[in-house]
Amino acid sequence: MADKTRGTTLFVFFRFSAFLFCLLLAPVPTSSHRPKLRFGLNGEFKILQVADMHFANGATTRCLDVLPPQKAHCSDLNTTVFMSRVIAAEKPDLIVFTGDNIFGFDVKDPVKSMNAAFAPAIASKIPWVAILGNHDQESTLTRQELMKHIVKLPNTLSQVNPPEAAHYIDGFGNYNLQIRGAAESSLQNKSVLNLYFLDSGDYSSVPYMEGYDWVKTSQQFWFERTSKRLQRVYNAEPNPQQGTAPGLAYFHIPLPEFWSFDSKNATKGVRQEGTYSASTNSGFFTTLVTRGDVKSVFVGHDHVNDFCGKLKGLNLCYGGGFGYHAYGKAGWERRARVVVAELNKKKGDVKAIRTWKRLDDQHLSVIDAQVLWTSSVNGSVASRL
């Protein structure tokens, strides 16, 4: 009995301490509680993009567009197995889900489906983030409810929206992540690579502008402010740096400028369907090129396009369809895109950004390796400074 009382007293004490501790932390934004991302001692930071899982109910959800002999034994679980394999093969530092994570229309319980869809990433203990596509909310949860659930899952760095912009920004799932220099280097406390995640919405609700949604003016405004703020910090003491740190932007629906490429003049990869962007051009491409820090945009949405093309110094890259319950092309393997940023060993800033894709075949074949950007004086950074 006595022991029990003592236990309770101790418990109350601990609870009270925890409460005080939380009070102390209260003014600090939640992001400071989360693990900080930085380059590894090998001088690299690797990102795995998973586009369009279209996960539904697991074992009972059949695959679309696989070869006739593959039909009988193929379900959402193949998507799960592919993810576990590619995570094990690449050991990324961050996993990015670029929307249509679940195919809401076929989903019975969106919370269950989302938890199952992200399960291999959660099990890997690798930090991960997700944004939404146009199909995620087609079940019983709204886009806001979906993001509110995602941010509570283990090891995620996703945010519903940035606190400083929450009162004006459109959509749910706009945020920025900063990747600091390698430990023990002079840039260990500076962000040397900036990631932007944006909610490209689902369907237009504007009369006379039907079709898919777009990155709104409020989001572009937030992007521009954030990019300028990050540059000020990058250029400031201690260890002031020149120019901007490179950035990468991830969202779901392609910009209309993705239309500028076909299989022949994309730098790598193929076009096998149209670009299903918004029917209007919201100018985000111009905003990105004008600002100049983002070197590549990564989207999903059009599953059987997987190219990168370079327009006005900005790379436009598709991830390529990942999920088996998503439409695809029978015999054309499901795939994932990997991006690696590499540090300049001497200065500690980013020297190059490369990409390749992994196919879901027996050997997880690597294809279409290419350099997206380098910091050489002849590179795009110098011409914009």
Query: Of 46 and 325, which has the nearer Cβ to ligand NAG?
Result: 325
The amino acid occupying position 12 is V
Is 262 a binding residue for ligand NAG by CB under 6 A? The answer is: yes
Query: Of 17 and 189, which has the nearer Cβ to ligand NAG?
Result: 189
Q: Which of 47, 50, 53, 66 touches ligand NAG by CB under 6 A?
A: 66
319, β-bridge pairs: none
DSSP state of 91: -
**Which 199-238 positions form the footprint of ligand NAG (CB under 6 A)?**
238
Which of these, 79, 128, 131, lies nearest to 100 by C-alpha position?
Answer: 131
Is 68 a binding residue for ligand NAG by CB under 6 A? The answer is: no
**What are the angstrom distances between the C-alpha of 141 and each of 57, 174, 203, 292, 298?**
15, 18, 16, 36, 26
CA distance 275 to 151: 30
Closest contact distance (angstroms) between CB of 63 and ligand NAG is 6
Is 78 a binding residue for ligand NAG by CB under 6 A? The answer is: yes
Whether 208 contacts 215, CB under 8 Å? no
Closest contact distance (angstroms) between CB of 261 and ligand NAG is 6
CA distance 48 to 32: 23
Q: Which of 31, 70, 267, 286 touches ligand NAG by CB under 6 A?
A: 70
- Burial of 249 (C-beta count, 10 Å sphere; 0-12/13-18/19+): buried
Q: Which stretch binds ligand NAG (CB under 6 A): 206-214, 254-262, 293-301, 313-321?
A: 254-262
Is 311 a binding residue for ligand NAG by CB under 6 A? The answer is: yes
Site string for ligand NAG, 165-194 (x = CB under 6 A): ---------------------x-xx-----
CA distance 338 to 354: 8
Radius of gyration of the chain (CA): 22
Is 27 a binding residue for ligand NAG by CB under 6 A? The answer is: no
Is 377 a binding residue for ligand NAG by CB under 6 A? The answer is: yes
Per-residue tokens: 103: 């195919």
Residues within the interface to ligand NAG (CB under 6 A): 66, 70, 73-74, 78, 186, 188-189, 238, 260-262, 265, 311, 376-378
